[in-house]
């Protein structure tokens, strides 16, 4: 959004790009790493989804990857549906994603927009890939989760998307 506003204001390409990238954070477009940490930590410790939700509520913390301003049970995010379908057809197993879906059932019983959002979906599926493909040991996978590799992997894609937004606006 900020990239588009900056480009429409007539700023140069670099200014438009950086305004978009600098707004990515845990509350907007950047919940992948923390979502991966929160869900995988709870799952690895054997916490039930209800225990995880209650622990987060009692510590007054948001569950990263849960909740959306516009999307809800009644207006689902089709990106999450598409990713879920793809994972079901192509991943060896999705235990963390399934866990996150169980968390979603609990949170949406409180409020219909507390859905598993696209960041939570991508994060849990990334972790499932690390754990389930056999390409990484559990220790290697946990190290990648701890250092926050997911945002870095997605940032390049977001940068290209922001550049395209800017170019299209400048063209008009």
- The C-alpha atoms of residue 97 and residue 104 are separated, in whole angstroms, by 10
Identify which of 7-21, 22-36, 71-85, 154-168 has the greatest average pLDDT.
Answer: 71-85
Confidence of residue 18 (pLDDT cuts 50, 70, 90): confident
Q: What is the pLDDT of residues 32-58, one digit of tens each?
A: 889 999 999 999 999 999 999 999 999
What phi-psi label fits residue 139: left (phi over 0), alpha (psi between -120 and 50 degrees) or beta? alpha
Stretch 141-157: mean pLDDT: 76
Mean pLDDT confidence for 78-103: 96
**Does 11 have pLDDT greater than 90?**
no
- Is 60 exceeded by the pLDDT of residue 170? yes
Q: Which tens digits make up the pLDDT trace of 94-140? A: 999 999 999 999 999 999 999 999 889 999 999 999 999 999 998 99
Question: Residue 102 has what pLDDT?
Answer: 98
Rounded CA gap, 76 and 160, in Å?
Answer: 26
Report residue 163's pLDDT band, with 50, 70 and 90 as the boundaries.
low
Contacts for 19 with CB less than 8 Å, ≥ 6 apart: 2, 3, 5, 6, 11
What is the Cα–Cα distance from 130 to 62, expressed in whole angstroms? 24
**pLDDT tier, 146 (very low <50, low <70, confident <90, very high otherwise):** confident
Mean pLDDT over each residue of the chain, to the nearest integer? 86
């Amino acid at each position: 959004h900020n990239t588009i506003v900056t480009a429409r204001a007539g700023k140069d390409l670099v200014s438009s790009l950086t305004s978009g990238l600098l707004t990515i954070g845990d509350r907007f477009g950047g919940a992948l790493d923390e979502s991966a940490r929160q869900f995988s930590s709870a799952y690895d410790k054997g916490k039930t989804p209800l225990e995880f939700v209650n622990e987060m509520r009692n510590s007054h913390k948001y569950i990263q990857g849960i909740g959306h301003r516009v999307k809800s049970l009644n207006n689902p995010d089709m990106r999450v549906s598409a990713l879920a379908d793809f994972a079901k057809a192509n991943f060896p197993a999705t235990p963390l994603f399934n866990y996150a879906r169980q968390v979603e059932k609990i949170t949406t019983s409180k409020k219909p927009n507390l859905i598993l959002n696209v960041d939570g979906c991508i994060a849990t599926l990334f972790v499932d890939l690390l754990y389930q493909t056999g390409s990484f040991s559990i220790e290697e996978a946990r190290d990648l989760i701890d250092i926050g590799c997911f945002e870095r992997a997605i940032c390049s894609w977001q940068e290209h998307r922001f550049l395209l937004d800017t170019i299209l606006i400048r063209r008009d």
